[in-house]
Structure 1
Amino acid sequence: MNLNSGLEATNMLDEMMVLTAQNLSRMEVSDHYTVIKELGRGKYGQVILVIHRQRGTPMALKLLSKMQTKKQNFLYEYCVALSLSAHANIIGMFGIAFESAEHYGFLYEAALQRDLISIIKPREGVPEQAGKQCAKQLVSALEFIHSRGLVYRDVKPENVLLFGRDCQQIKLTDFGLTRPKGTMLKLVSGIIPYTAPELSYSRNGEGVPIDFTLDAWAFGVLLFCLMTGYFPFEKTLLSDPFFDDYVVWQETGNSEDLSRHWKKLTTEAMDMLSKLMALNPTERSPVGKALKYLDCSWRVDNWRAIEGLD
C-alpha cells in the first residue's frame, strides 16, 4: 500500500489508534520482564533494556509517564512505529503495548551496539565508507516513511541505532515527532542545526504545512556531521555567523567565507549538501538524490592536514 497523501496516513493511524486502545492490556513491568539497565532518558520518559522472563528475549522498553503524557500521544507514537516497522532500516516492533499504574509502554528490538552519535568522532566524523553505508540506508528508510504520507521530523544521530560495526546495518527509531504530510506546524521554539530555516522565523502565529523537505534538510546536516565531526552551524538564524555565511554561499555561490570545516569536502559533496539544504524548500532535492553521489569522493585527500590532525 502506497500512501501518498497525508490525509490517508491520518485516517489509517486514527483507525490503528482506536483498535490499539480497545486492546491495550494492563500490567506491571515486573510481571513479565526483568529490568537490566536504562538505555536512555528523555523529557517525557525513558528506554530500558529488559529480558522477557519466559522467553529470555532482550527487548527495549519505552516507558512514558502518565503524569506527562496524554494517552492519545502514546497511542499515536506506538501506531506510527508499528506501521513503519516492516522496513529493514526502521526499528522492529513486538506489537506489545500496555499501561501500568504509572506508565504507558511499548516494546521494540534492542540495539546493543548503541547509536550513531557514539561513533562520530569530534573533528573527524566517521570513515567515509561507513558514512556512505549509513546514508544509503537512511535514504531507504526515509523514502519508505515518505511513501506512507509521513514526515519523520527527527533526523539526528541519536535516533539512528547501530546493528553492526561501521554502520553495516542501521535503523531509525523514535517516531514521537512524525506527522502526516501537510500537518500545520507553528514556529518551533528550540532551533537547532536540524531545524529547517522555514521553521525558524516568526509568522505571526501562522503555521507552516510540513513537507518531506524538512527531512531532506536534516538529512543534509546529518551527512555534514558524518563527514566532518562538526555541525555546519548551531542555529538556522542569521544571528549565527556560520549560518549567515552559509546563506551567502547559497545566494551568491561564493564559498570563501564558509567555515574551515567545509574545506574538507569535495566539490561533489558540497554540491550534494547545497541541494539537500537549499534555503528555499521548493528547491530542496529529495533525500534519494544523495544516492547519485555515492560513487564520488566526499572528503578531500588531505582533510586531516586541513584539520591539523596529522
Structure 2
Amino acid sequence: MEGIEYSTQPFEELYEVFEEIGSGQFAVVRRCVEKATCNEYAAKYIRKRRVASSRRGLPLEAIAREVRVLQRLDKHQNIISLHQVFDNGQHVILVLELVRGGELFEHISERERLSEEEASAFLHQILQGLSHMHSKGIAHLDLKPENVLLLSKNRQHIKLIDFGLSREITKAEEVRDLMGK
C-alpha cells in the first residue's frame, strides 16, 4: 500500500493470536499478544479484495485510507490507537489498542437507567474525540453507539473505533456520499 509502512515479517512470528473479539462485513478482530513485550492488542484482519469486480474483501485504497486516518489521529485518549500494520497477502492486519469494556450501546442497554452525570461524561468524551478528528480534517461518518467502546467494564472512559468510512476533508470541499447499512 503506497505511502504506508507495514511490517514484512510474518505476523505470527511476532504475535500470538487468540480468540475472536469482534467482526464486521470485511474484518475479524482477534485478541493477540506481542511476544517480545507480552503486551495485549486487538488484531483487525481486513480481507483484501483480489479482483476489482469482486464483492469479497475491501479494495486496497479503502484499507489504506483507514490506516492513514488512524496514523493522523495520533494517540488521543478517546480514539483507538494503531500500533502496527502487517500485510500477509490475503489480509491487512491492523494491530490496535485492546479495549475490553464492550460497546457503549451494550452498557447503556444493560442498565435500567443512566444518570445525567454518566451520560454527560460519555457525551463529553465523544465530543472530545470528534473535536480532535475535526481539527485534523477528518470526519468519522459512521458514528453510532456500536462504534464507541468502553476502555474497561468498571470505568467510564470511552474510545471511538472503526474508521473504515472516515474521510479526510477540507473546508472548501463538499462531501456527498452514501454511508451506513
Name the TM-score class by shorter chain.
0.7 to 0.9
**CA deviation digits over 1:137-158, x for unaligned, max 9?**
1111111111112211111111
In 1, distance between residues paired with 2:177 and 2:15? 40
Question: Map of 1:1-310 to 2, 5 A cutoff?
Answer: 18-20=2-4, 23-67=5-49, 68-94=57-83, 96-121=84-109, 124-165=112-153, 168-181=156-169, 182-188=173-179, 190=181
**Structure with a larger share of its residues in strand:** 2
Q: TM-score, normalised by structure 2?
A: 0.84
In 1, distance between residues paired with 2:47 and 2:180? 23
The alignment covers a number of residue pairs equal to: 171
Whether the 8 Å CA contact 2:48–2:59 is kept in 1: the answer is yes
**How far did residue 127 of structure 1 move?**
3.1
Whether the 8 Å CA contact 1:119–1:126 is kept in 2: the answer is no
Whether the 8 Å CA contact 1:130–1:166 is kept in 2: the answer is no
Greater relative contact order (CA < 8 Å, ≥ 6 in sequence): 2
Partner in structure 2 of residue 220 of structure 1 = none
For the pair shown, the structure with the greater C-alpha radius of gyration is 1
**CA deviation digits over 1:142-184, x for unaligned, max 9?**
1111111221111111111112446521111111111133353
**CA deviation digits over 1:106-151, x for unaligned, max 9?**
1111011222122112694533322111011111111111111221
Whether the 8 Å CA contact 1:61–1:107 is kept in 2: the answer is yes
**Structure with a larger share of its residues in helix:** 1
Partner of 2:3: helix, strand, or coil? Answer: helix
Paired letter, 1:55: T
Gaps of 5+ in 1: 1-16, 191-310
Q: Aligned in 2, Cα 1:169/1:189: closer, same or farther, shift over 3 Å?
A: closer
Q: Aligned in 2, Cα 1:165/1:132: closer, same or farther, shift over 3 Å?
A: farther
Q: TM-score, normalised by structure 1?
A: 0.51
Gaps of 5+ in 2: 50-56
Q: Aligned in 2, Cα 1:125/1:44: closer, same or farther, shift over 3 Å?
A: farther
Q: Aligned in 2, Cα 1:73/1:130: closer, same or farther, shift over 3 Å?
A: same
In 2, distance between residues paired with 1:189 and 1:58? 30
In 2, distance between residues paired with 1:81 and 1:90? 9
